[in-house]
Structure formats: C-alpha cells, structure tokens
Amino acid sequence: MSFASLGLIEPLLRNLQNLNYQTPTPVQAKAIPAVLGGKDVMAAAQTGTGKTAGFALPLLQRLVQHGPAVSSNRARVLVLVPTRELAEQVLQSFIEYGKGLDLRFLAAYGGVSINPQMMKLRKGVDVLVATPGRLLDLNRQNAVQFDQVQTLVLDEADRMLDLGFARELNAVFEAVPAQRQTLLFSATFTDDIRTMAAGILRNPVDISVSAPNATASKIKQWVVTVDKKNKPDLFMHLVAENKWEHALVFVKTRSGVDYLATVLDDAGYAVDTIHGDKPQPARLRALERFKAREIQMLVATDVAARGLDIDDLPLVINVDLPIVAQDYVHRIGRTGRAGASGVAVSLVCADEAPLLAAIEALIRQTLRREEEPGFEAEHRVPQTSATGEIIKKPKKPKKPKVPQGAPAAKPMPGKKPAAQHGASKSKPVAKHAGATVPEPSLGGFNPFSTQKPRGKPAGKSTGKPAGKPAAGPRKPGGKPAGGGRGKR
C-alpha cells in the first residue's frame, strides 16, 4: 500500500518522500481515509506506531481543501495533548508534514510566558496544539475562541486523564461547536476513556492496530532483581559492564533523578535531566541535546515518558518501576519505535512486586528475571504472574548477610535465570492502572536517599568497583560530565 493510494494530495506526498516514509503504518492506513472522509475516530494505537501522521496528514489535507481561512483569535484544528514536550513534538510533525501548504501552526503550553502565544493567536492559526490548562487560560483572556473549530483531536487521552485534566477537558468539550469532527487517540483504553469517548464521539471508526496495552514486540525487556539500597550501585555497574553509552533512564522521584545525574556526572558521563522542577526551556534543551547525542544519558521522571520521539534510542533503563502500570508501556515505548529494535531493563526490588505484577497483567506477559552476581537481592522479589498475582509474599526483611553466589560480575547479556521461588498461596494485586500519578518530590520510595553514590554494595565483593566506569563513556574532546550538566 502507498500513501498515494490513501488519497493524499501531491504536496503531502512530496513531504513524505523527503522524510523517507515509504509505506503507511497500520494505524495510518486505517486512520487517514477515515479522517479524510470527515469521520470521528477512536484509535487504540500503541506508542511509536506513527499515529501523529495518522491524524496530521489527513487534517492538513482537509484544511487545504475545505473551509474558509481562519479569523483572528481562532483555530480550525485543536489538538489537545498532556505535556509540553508532546505539544512541541506534535507541532514539529505538523510543520514537517505541512511544508509548503501556507498554513499557520502554534503550540501553546504552560510554564512559559503566555504573551508570545497571545500575539501569535491574533492572526488566527489553522492548527493549535495545546495542553488543556494553558488552552483554557488563553480562552479566558479572549486570546482564542472556539467557534471555528472544525476538528478536535485528543492525543494520548489516557495520559490527560491520568494527569487530572478531566475537568479542563469537559470545559473544552462544552466550548467547541457540537458540529465537529473528533479524533481520540489513546495508548491504553480504561473504562474512564471509554466513558469519555462515548460522550464525545459520533459513530466513530474504531481503530485498533495492536492489542491495547501491549508493548512493542521488538523491544527486549527484562527485569534485574536487587535490594532497594543497592540500586544505584547496580545501575552504575550495569552501565559500565555493558558499556551502555546512550540511554534514557527513569527514576521515580525528582530528588532521585538529580542524585543519579550527579553520580553519572561524577563517573564521567555526559548527562542531563528532565523533571517537573525544571523550567520548560531547560527540559526542551535537555531533550534536544540528548537527541543530538551531545549528552549520553538523560535521567527523567515520568514527565518524559509520553510522546517523546527519539530516533534510534537503543535502551531504556527503569531504575524504579512507575507507580502507574501504563507508564511502563509509555516509558519503554521510547525505544523500539517505528519498527526498530530496542532494550528495556528494569531494576526491581521487593517493595515493587505489586507494581511489577500490575505491569505484567497490563502487558499480559511475565517479564524475564535476571540477577547480577554480587548484587543478588537479600530481600527476594516475590514471583509474579501475567494475571497480576503475586505468587509468594515477600519475606520479612532479614539482616544483611554476606551474599551467596560467585562474586565476579559479568555483563548483562550473559544473563542467567534468576532463582525460581517455590509457589505458595496466590495473592491478588491491586491494579494501579488508571490512577493519578503526581510526580513525587521527596515523598515515597527514594532508592537514593540512603546510599553513597559509589563503591561496592555493603558487604559485597564484586571484584569491580561499581560507579567507576572505564574511560569509554566519556564524551570525546573535553570533560564530558561538565558538558552535560554544568552549563545548565
């Protein structure tokens, strides 16, 4: 199948050719004709499937072919997104796909001055990509009115609900014209999303290009079990042993992100961070530098999990599991995009067994477990299953002992299966899917609060100092660590 056979016009086809998009992805093959035909769409498309082009291309075509020019302080297409980063990314997609079409685009989000956004809205824009809060601010200040909105797009609708935007979304639904086209894209479909969809979509074309909540099959995923206090050392050990030189690293708390960035920086890696305490320009700069490979490691909280499109990212490391199971899908979806292969490694401690069980239930698979010699968990992580059960309760923490097993560390790809634990009684696990996830600050589990950054785990003898990687990871030409964080 070709893009031309989907009915796209010449300027769009030219732009796609320049981007070297040769064939439509499955979601594009289904969404493009439906959107061109003016239909409502409800699409369950996992991250990295090409869904942005799935709605942007046909909407650009409709903007060119239909309807009057936009008036001042109006928008014809309104795209709602959960995060500022995704707003920028979707805007870039519209700009790239719509080159030469003489249309106006704008991304509007909070955390930056509202005035330039108000100025740009004066002439009106054809496509406004916005986060819900800032959009309503602009509307309250009469910078944008909704009476010319022809199409409303909800991108990553599940994430918008997770982030607590339900009220803002309802306010937008009430303000836009009843006669409109509505497109709803969501990686996961919870009951809340289905209820919302039923209220705003009219006879939608239902598109599901893979099992909802599945993770991209090309991503190799496994778990390394470890005691909470040894996570930083294990992380540094794995990075050095495997010569991991370009990775997106997820940590649960902001303080944990800063801590790990310092440890990486001290060890000579070029590193930057993204979390909710950082101003938006600094976050975007960190992302740009990571994409340009000016930095090797980007350490982030879940703020960065959704929607970021980073080409050729081979590796995602979850130092902590996310509190909300769907965020696992989004985190690891940063790798293995557009058919590429990728690796996702999660460090899991006993406390996180319920989170692991919820993730496995969501993705409908039990993740393979590894142990790293010298870092075997004293507090065993109970077995879990793809039905969301914990097979065995965690044992009460024992006093640390000298670890069993060979002390010599070996590289991750050498994998040996973790010890199997005997099954006893099953225990259902509370599902975390769909819960609201505020980005924790200092509260909750912070694996970095008690541990020194470097050195061997207490009482263990790995024969290799963790946290002291060889010169390999250093950025060529100069002090890499300073290049990473010092200039912020």
Residues that bind ligand AMP (CB under 6 A): 21, 24-25, 28, 48-53, 309, 311, 337-338
Note whether 31 and 41 are within 8 A (CB): yes
| CA-based nearest residue to 353, from 466, 231, 215, 228 | 228
Judged by beta carbon, residue 40 or residue 309, the one nearer ligand AMP is 309
Minimum Å distance from CB 291 to ligand AMP? 11
> What H or E segment, with its residue span, contains residue 249?
strand 247-250
Is 85 or 227 the residue whose CB approaches ligand AMP more closely?
85
User: How far, in Å, CA of 315 to CA of 444, rounded?
Assistant: 26
Q: How many other β-carbons are positioned within 10 Å of the β-carbon of residue 407?
A: 14
CB nearer ligand AMP, residue 28 or residue 131: 28
Sheet holding 297-300, edge to edge: 271-274, 297-300, 247-250, 315-318, 342-348, 219-225, 368-370
- List the structure tokens of 165: 């935007």
C-beta closer to ligand AMP: residue 19 or 442: 19
Contact status, residue 344 vs residue 250, Cβ threshold 8 Å: no
Measured from the CB atom, the residue of 336 and 447 that comes closer to ligand AMP is 336
CB of 337 to ligand AMP, least distance (A): 5
**Closest distance between ligand AMP and the C-beta of residue 27, in Å?**
8
Question: What is the C-alpha to C-alpha distance for residues 88 and 113, in angstroms, rounded to an integer?
Answer: 15
Kindly state the smallest distance separating residue 30's Cβ from ligand AMP, in Å: 13
Residue 297, strand partner residues: 247, 271
- Tell me 145's DSSP state: B
Nearest to 86 by CA among 51, 113, 59, 121: 51
Burial 340-364 (b: 16+ CB within 10 A, else e): eebbbbbbbbbbbbbbbbbbbbbbe
In the bound state with ligand AMP, the residue whose beta carbon lies nearer, of 25 and 83, is 25
Nearer to ligand AMP, 28 or 462 (CB): 28
CB of 342 to ligand AMP, least distance (A): 13
d(CA 369, CA 349): 12
Q: Report whether 185 contacts 155 (CB < 8 A).
A: yes
To ligand AMP, the closest distance from the beta carbon of 253 in angstroms equals 27
β-strand pairing of 75-80 with 125-130: parallel
DSSP state of 179: S
Residue 171 or 340 with smaller CB distance to ligand AMP: 340
Q: Which is nearer to ligand AMP, 45 or 357 (CB)?
A: 45
From the CB of 150, what's the least distance to ligand AMP, in Å?
22
Task: Look at residue 236 and give its three-state secondary structure.
Answer: helix
Neighbours of 39 (CB within 10 A): 17
CB of 48 to ligand AMP, least distance (A): 5
Residue located via tokens 């990687």? 469
Instruction: Give me the least distance between CB of 54 and ligand AMP, in Å please.
Output: 7
Task: Pull the structure tokens for residue 344.
Answer: 């996702």
